Chains A and B, each alone.
Chain A
Amino acid sequence: MRVRILRDAILIAAIAAAIGLAVNGIRSFAALGGLPLDTPWPDNRQRVELEFPPSYEEGDSLLTLEDAYNLYLGGKVLFLDARDPIEYEEGHIKGAISLPFDWMEEYWEDVKPLLDPDREIIAYCGGIDCEFSVFLARDLKYQGFEKSYIFFGGWLKWSEAGLPVEISESDND
């Protein structure tokens, strides 16, 4: 009897698989959302190197370069540049907003309306010698923006990878 149960289970699985493949085949043929079975996805299985900031604490949400870029492609994330305004002007991640950690109070009023607790926020700083991204993200989480992420060493990694950046036009020119 146990063999029969196993046989039934395998049979059900096989029949379901066959139905699924058949439906997918029809959808592919009719251009109705079928998945191409011979097209692989990018291989993302390796454990990616994640650098931990010296003052890392449990609760900090760290991102790799790949994570940050994936979120960037999603189009919904907000990058916050925690460096000095001059560094920001010389080059920042495309679409990022300047929120210098050393001048938080001055910038906060203008930046806060752009923030949304439901929106992913990525704080980044220069290289791995700068931990402003860590402190900024913690501040944001403390204020209720739960989806605040730390892109440690962000600017250096992003720019070295040749990912989209922009330069601010100086108002003085």
Chain B
Amino acid sequence: MLISRIVLGTIFIYASIDKIMHPLAFAQVIHHYRLTPPDLINFFAVILPWMELLAGLLLIIGYRVKGSSLLISGLLIFFGALLTITAIRGINVACGCFSTSTAVKSNLVLRIIEDIGMLLLGLHILLFYKRKSGAGAEVGSEKSGSGIA
């Protein structure tokens, strides 16, 4: 589980850095997908990378792991849906062209597969991660602990 958290967390932190440093370029990419309402593009360009960064950090640190992995899984489902819609519409996202090029479709399919892979990691952590210690770590243990003494 530690490996999964570190891998996924690192991917997300790495993915967020460039977008944080170049928000205009990221906004341009969002614009090329032709899906977001125009007056929300800059807003999403600003907040999304920080969600990736924060969730990735928390995942690695090990704080609020289930919450982070839920957020990450949610983001991945969201991105996956966007990629799928774009692939169906035949939009070449890199150049912003509306093109039925088959070369473009194979790139998007690759991205979708990567997305699903990360989503599986995220869901795995979400469903099976157990906090090691601390009050209330196990369901139903609060009451039983007092019976020991």
Contacts and interface: CB of A to CB of B under 8 A. Distances in A.
Given A16-B55, A17-B51, A35-B27, A5 B97 contact: no
A77 B135 CA distance: 62
Interface string B125-145: 010000000000001000000
Contacts of A149: 97, 99, 101
Most buried by B among A40, A44, A70: A44
A45 B35 contact: yes
Given A12-B58, A13-B51, A62-B100, A71 B95 contact: yes
Contact of A58 (B41, B64, B102): B102
Nearest to A27: B23
Nearest to A17: B47
Contacts of A58: 100, 102
A12 B23 contact: no
A142 to B, nearest CB: 13
A38 B38 CA distance: 10
Interface string A51-65: 000000011111110
B interface, over-half SS: helix
B97 A63 contact: yes
A37 B96 contact: no
A75 interface: no
Interface residues of A, number: 49
Interface in B84-100: 89, 92, 95-100
B99 A63 contact: yes
Contact of B139 (A1, A11, A70): A1
List 9 tightest A-B contacts by C-beta distance, closest first: A8-B67, A61-B101, A20-B50, A40-B39, A40-B38, A67-B97, A17-B47, A9-B70, A16-B50
19 contacts: A8-B66, A11-B67, A12-B58, A17-B50, A20-B50, A20-B51, A21-B46, A34-B23, A37-B46, A41-B27, A42-B31, A43-B38, A59-B101, A59-B102, A61-B103, A62-B99, A63-B98, A70-B97, A120-B95
Interface of B: 20, 22-24, 27, 31, 34-35, 37-39, 41-43, 45-51, 53-55, 58, 64, 66-68, 70-71, 74, 89, 92, 95-104, 126, 139
